[in-house]
């Protein structure tokens, strides 16, 4: 029987559990602390930046994959050199770990992206603001998530704390033009080592404060599906991605697309697929990293809308209101991740299927308000 080893015990590892059970494979999770979201599948608790511990974990699994992108590339290169199957491999994963490496690679592949520059001094940043300002976006190339590590600024002084600590971000910052987008979108794809790749329909993502708030699948305008899938296949093949990859994109008013960033693992924009697709992103990820044939990615119904549940304070109060929301909205699917509550933290999500995406969004938001105790 095959075993997939996941580094990281967050909600993504958690949601791989039912898929592993259905496929009849073992899941082993290397969590960084006790009581993680994926606690039911944890086989090791420790430090994922320690090569000896990674080696120990790798011994008992057929393939290593990820719940997050924070394992240092050098360690993954070392494991790979020792014969461990690492999927995605470090040569591909680096593009999801480091936004500057990604920008350079996308430029090389000739794919559309915002104007950008590598910044190593306040002068360089002021120069970029002079050309693309008054407002521009500065990002830390590594370590950012959920909008942390992204700032909209109009002067170098607003990121002086980052500019003074360049070493902790790999020596430079990423500056991007502030894109005046119509909406944001994400395209998911799964690719297996033998080369087979399948995309899901393009989805619309709605962020609030830099964090994903809602997802509408498929993206309501179908004219974007082909160009988005083309870009995504080019990246997956160009980088040799294995497993699931999400390509976050900006949709401009003229219908063109720019690549924002990449994630090489199941992604928040794909949670809709648990109920909404014939094959969920979690099952497909397991299939892909084991080099098994990929499942059909068609929608099960018309639309699926996913609504994130974010921590409203530091109390795990969602369970109190859960039954009320369930009673009022019996067609909504509920997912709670068993994480310790913190303001703004991703605590769970809801999915609702149907034919009218606007109505679904309204239903999802109302159910969320009940869980937040607002209604």
Question: Site residues (CB under 5 A) for Mg ion?
Answer: 248, 261
User: Residue from 91, 101, 150, 299 that binds ligand ATP (CB under 6 A)?
Assistant: 150
- Between β-strands 183-191 and 203-208, what pairing exists: parallel, antiparallel or unpaired? antiparallel
> Of the two residues 30 and 250, which places its CB atom closer to Mg ion in the complex?
250
> Of the two residues 187 and 363, which places its CB atom closer to ligand ATP in the complex?
187
**Residue 265: DSSP 8-state:** S
Residues 97-126 that bind ligand ATP (CB under 6 A): 114
User: Residue from 199, 260, 277, 281 that binds ligand ATP (CB under 6 A)?
Assistant: 260
Instruction: Please identify, among the stretches 3-11, 146-154, 155-163, 287-295, the one whose residues bind ligand ATP according to the rule CB under 6 A.
Output: 146-154
170-208 residues labelled b (16+ CB within 10 A) or e (exposed): eebbbbbbbbebebbbbbbbbbbbeeebbbbbbbbbeee
User: Residue from 39, 178, 342, 365 that binds ligand ATP (CB under 6 A)?
Assistant: 178
For the bound state, the minimum distance from the C-beta of residue 317 to ligand ATP, rounded and expressed in Å, comes to 24
Please state, in angstroms and rounded to a whole number, the distance separating the CA atoms of residues 273 and 277: 5
Tokens of 259: 């690549």
Q: DSSP strand E in 33-157: where?
A: 42-45, 63-66, 116-119, 136-139, 150-153
For the bound state, the minimum distance from the C-beta of residue 170 to ligand ATP, rounded and expressed in Å, comes to 15
For the bound state, the minimum distance from the C-beta of residue 205 to Mg ion, rounded and expressed in Å, comes to 9
Helix-strand-coil split of the chain, %, nearest 5: 35, 25, 35
Tokens of 313: 């304070």
Residues in the chain: 375
Kindly report the backbone phi and psi dihedral angles of residue 308, in degrees, each rounded to the nearest multiple of 5, phi listed first: -75, 145
> Of the two residues 248 and 283, which places its CB atom closer to Mg ion in the complex?
248
Does 67 contact ligand ATP by CB under 6 A?
no
Tokens of 194: 């033998």
User: Residue from 176, 282, 339, 371 that binds ligand ATP (CB under 6 A)?
Assistant: 176
User: Residue from 26, 155, 183, 207 that binds ligand ATP (CB under 6 A)?
Assistant: 207
User: Residue from 133, 144, 302, 344 that binds ligand ATP (CB under 6 A)?
Assistant: 144
Neighbouring C-beta atoms of residue 140, cutoff 10 Å:
23
- Whose tokens are 């300002």? That residue is 133
Task: Choose the contact partner of 210 out of ligand ATP, Mg ion, none; CB within 5 to 8 A by kind.
Answer: ligand ATP
For the bound state, the minimum distance from the C-beta of residue 267 to ligand ATP, rounded and expressed in Å, comes to 8
Residue pair 265/67 in contact (Cβ under 8 Å)? The answer is yes
> Of the two residues 96 and 325, which places its CB atom closer to ligand ATP in the complex?
96
For the bound state, the minimum distance from the C-beta of residue 212 to ligand ATP, rounded and expressed in Å, comes to 6
User: Residue from 18, 122, 147, 227 that binds ligand ATP (CB under 6 A)?
Assistant: 147
Residue pair 217/201 in contact (Cβ under 8 Å)? The answer is yes
For the bound state, the minimum distance from the C-beta of residue 178 to ligand ATP, rounded and expressed in Å, comes to 5
Residue pair 48/69 in contact (Cβ under 8 Å)? The answer is no
Task: Choose the contact partner of 207 out of Mg ion, ligand ATP, none; CB within 5 to 8 A by kind.
Answer: ligand ATP
Tokens of 360: 């679904």
Tokens of 244: 């699931």
User: Residue from 45, 91, 101, 137 that binds ligand ATP (CB under 6 A)?
Assistant: 137
Residue pair 322/226 in contact (Cβ under 8 Å)? The answer is no
Does 146 contact ligand ATP by CB under 6 A?
yes
Residues 183-202 that bind ligand ATP (CB under 6 A): 184
Tokens of 359: 């109505």
Q: Enumerate binding residues for ligand ATP (CB under 6 A).
A: 114, 137, 139, 144-150, 176, 178-179, 184, 207, 210-211, 248, 260-261
């Amino acid at each position: 029987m095959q075993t997939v080893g996941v580094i990281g015990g967050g909600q993504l590892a958690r949601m791989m559990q039912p898929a592993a059970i259905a496929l009849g494979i073992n899941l082993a999770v290397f969590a960084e602390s006790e009581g993680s979201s994926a606690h039911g599948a944890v086989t090791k608790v420790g430090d994922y930046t320690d090569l000896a511990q990674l080696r120990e974990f790798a011994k008992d699994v057929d393939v290593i994959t990820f719940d997050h992108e924070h394992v240092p590339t050098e360690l993954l290169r070392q494991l790979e050199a020792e014969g461990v199957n690492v999927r995605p491999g470090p040569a591909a994963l680096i593009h999801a770990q480091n936004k500057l490496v990604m920008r350079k690679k996308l430029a090389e592949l000739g794919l559309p992206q915002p104007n950008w520059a590598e910044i190593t001094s306040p002068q360089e940043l002021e120069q970029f603001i002079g050309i693309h300002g008054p407002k521009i976006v500065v990002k830390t190339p590594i370590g950012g998530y959920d909008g942390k590590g992204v700032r909209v600024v109009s002067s170098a002084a607003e990121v002086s704390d980052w500019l003074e600590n360049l070493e902790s971000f790999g020596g430079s910052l990423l500056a991007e033009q502030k894109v005046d987008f119509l909406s944001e979108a994400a395209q998911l794809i799964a690719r297996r080592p033998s080369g087979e790749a399948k995309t899901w329909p393009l989805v619309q993502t709605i962020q609030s404060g830099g964090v994903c708030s809602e997802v509408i699948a498929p993206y309501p305008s179908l004219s974007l599906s082909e160009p988005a899938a083309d870009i995504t296949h080019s990246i997956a093949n160009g980088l040799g991605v294995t497993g699931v990859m999400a390509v976050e994109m900006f949709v401009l008013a003229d219908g063109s697309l720019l690549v924002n960033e990449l994630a090489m693992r199941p992604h928040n924009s794909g949670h809709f697929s648990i109920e909404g697709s014939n094959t969920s992103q979690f099952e497909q990820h397991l299939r892909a990293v084991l080099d098994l044939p990929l499942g059909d990615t068609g929608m099960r119904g018309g639309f699926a809308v996913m609504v994130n549940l974010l921590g409203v304070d530091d109390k795990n109060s969602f369970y109190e209101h859960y039954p009320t929301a369930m009673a009022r909205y019996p067609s909504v699917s509920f997912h709670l991740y068993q994480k310790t509550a913190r303001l703004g933290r991703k605590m769970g999500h809801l999915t609702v299927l149907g034919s009218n995406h606007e109505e679904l969004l309204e239903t999802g938001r109302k159910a969320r308000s009940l869980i937040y105790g607002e209604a």
